[in-house]
Amino acid sequence: MASRYSMWSVFRNGLSGQQHWDRVWRDPEPASHYDVVIVGGGLHGLATAYYLKKMHGIRRVAVLEKGWIGGGNAGRNTTIVRSNYRLPGNREFYEHSLSLWENLSHELNYNVMFSQRGHVTVLHSPGAIDTFSRTYNTLRMTGSDGEFWDLDTLKKNIPHLNYAADARFPIYGATVQPRAGTARHDAVVWGYARAADALGVDLIQNCEVTGITRDADRIASLQTSRGVITGDKTAFAVAGHTSQLWHMAGLGGLPIESHKLQAFVSEPLKPLLDHVVAFSVGGGLFYVSQSDKGGMVFGGDLDWYKSYAQRGNLPMVQNVAECATALLPCLGRVRLLRHWAGVMDMSMDGSFFICKTPLSNLYLNAGWNYGGFKASPASGWYFADLIANDRPHDVIRHHDLQRFARGYIIDERGAGADPKLHG
């Protein structure tokens, strides 16, 4: 088991040339049977494994990952953490997640570099101010934090936005969540992986689930690239590839489509932006923060057509660059260092699923759209609670697959049954 990280361990290993650190997690051979088998070694799978052990004392837990831990969306996102969701269910869930983030580095004994630098949504019309004030008032009335910044306050805090009177999108003010911010995505992955491993979870990498054998309404076994593995309970947490596993289990369609989202990072700059800034107008979406290394980390909309290709298209690069310079003209001559894409599990109403399934020993975690990074601690918490107790927690009782048939649609944007319109 890995030793505890502390100031003392950093000091001691510094003296011995960094040669004596323990392996961060084991690399076990898969056993043939587990109490719970989680498919997908992204943040949601890893967090679920951790809380299954920590809160529910489940004995034999494995996470099966087809590539390497954190090689999916967990390691591809723009790392924004906030809880400014308005609808019942989402509100409590994301607030719980934010409170877990606030203690996560201590909980995991791993510095996840959670930086509560504040999330600023820039507003471009009186109508936008009204709509967002409603949401942020809801935050304040339900135990969270939310502020409105008028133009003077905004200018004082972020002086270099485009405040010109003839700007394409004149700025009227901003809504702000001060407790929101960013975290280092890889550190969260490694932190959960290390903490889960230390509690005895088997993290099995290079282990792709390639087929599923059913026994009536149960999953009997999983065929994997590392042999047959059985679990009393099976849990899917594979984000953009949920439909593939669903088909393998012979379960048909899902209220999910896979779309891709790009992210970008620039060459490092001197300190420029202290907050996370989000910009959203008809036809343009843009969010940006500055990493500790100085790179501007930003993203925009989906590539606009369904896709499983983990690479982005050029029209969206142009769209995002246009948004960037509309909001922050000073970025005009900054060079891009890298850009990449991830496959998103876009749901029909923009909200997630943590729920039971038509099979009695299968549980589903999916539909994260492009907001699942912030959700990962609570996602693991509620999913573990569901798997261990075989019933949904009250907070997520509406986040099931039947909500559409019940007419209980959880659509924050009010965009309708079209996955590419959510986010």
Partner 1 sequence: MIKIDCPFCGVRDHSEFSYGGDGSIEWPALDASASDWVTAVYERDNIRGKQWETWHHLYGCRQWLLVERDTLTHEIHTVKLAHSGCGQLSR
Residues near partner 1 (CB under 8 A): 241, 243-244, 247, 252-258, 304-309, 313-315, 348, 404-405, 417-420
Q: Which residues pair with 258 in a beta bridge?
A: 345
Closest to partner 1 by CB, 111 or 313: 313
Measured CA angle at 367 (ends 361, 369), to 5 deg: 160
Q: Answer for the pair 361, 233: CB distance below 8 angstroms, yes or no.
A: yes
Q: With CB cut-offs between 5 and 8 Å by kind, which of partner 1, ligand FAD, none does residue 422 bind? A: none
Q: Which of 378, 350, 338, 372 is nearest to 185 (CA)?
A: 372
- Tell me 416's DSSP state: -
Q: With CB cut-offs between 5 and 8 Å by kind, which of ligand FAD, partner 1, none does residue 307 bind? A: partner 1
- Tell me 410's DSSP state: -
- Tell me 255's DSSP state: S
Q: Answer for the pair 158, 119: CB distance below 8 angstroms, yes or no.
A: no
Q: With CB cut-offs between 5 and 8 Å by kind, which of ligand FAD, partner 1, none does residue 80 bind? A: ligand FAD
Mark 186-225 with x for binding to ligand FAD (rule: CB under 6 A) and - for no binding: ----------------------xx----------------
Closest to ligand FAD by CB, 21 or 304: 304
Q: In angstroms, what is the minimal distance from the CB of 304 to ligand FAD?
A: 14
Token pair 């995505």 is found at: 185
Q: With CB cut-offs between 5 and 8 Å by kind, which of ligand FAD, partner 1, none does residue 315 bind? A: partner 1
303's enclosing H/E stretch is strand 295-306
CA dist 58 and 26 (Å) reads: 19
Which range, of 54-62, 63-71, 141-149, 153-161, touches ligand FAD by CB under 6 A? 63-71
How many residues line the site for ligand FAD (CB under 6 A)? 39
Q: With CB cut-offs between 5 and 8 Å by kind, which of partner 1, ligand FAD, none does residue 404 bind? A: partner 1
Q: Which residues pair with 176 in a beta bridge?
A: 120, 147
Q: Answer for the pair 144, 83: CB distance below 8 angstroms, yes or no.
A: yes
> Is 374 a binder of ligand FAD (CB under 6 A)?
yes
Q: With CB cut-offs between 5 and 8 Å by kind, which of ligand FAD, partner 1, none does residue 197 bind? A: none
Token pair belonging to 309: 């290709």
> Is 61 a binder of ligand FAD (CB under 6 A)?
no
Token pair belonging to 341: 């894409």
CA dist 298 and 328 (Å) reads: 12
Q: Binder to ligand FAD among 78, 135, 243, 280 (CB under 6 A)?
A: 78
Which chain residues interact with ligand FAD by CB under 6 A? 39-45, 64-67, 71-74, 76-80, 208-209, 237-239, 241, 245, 261-263, 299, 342, 344, 368, 370-374
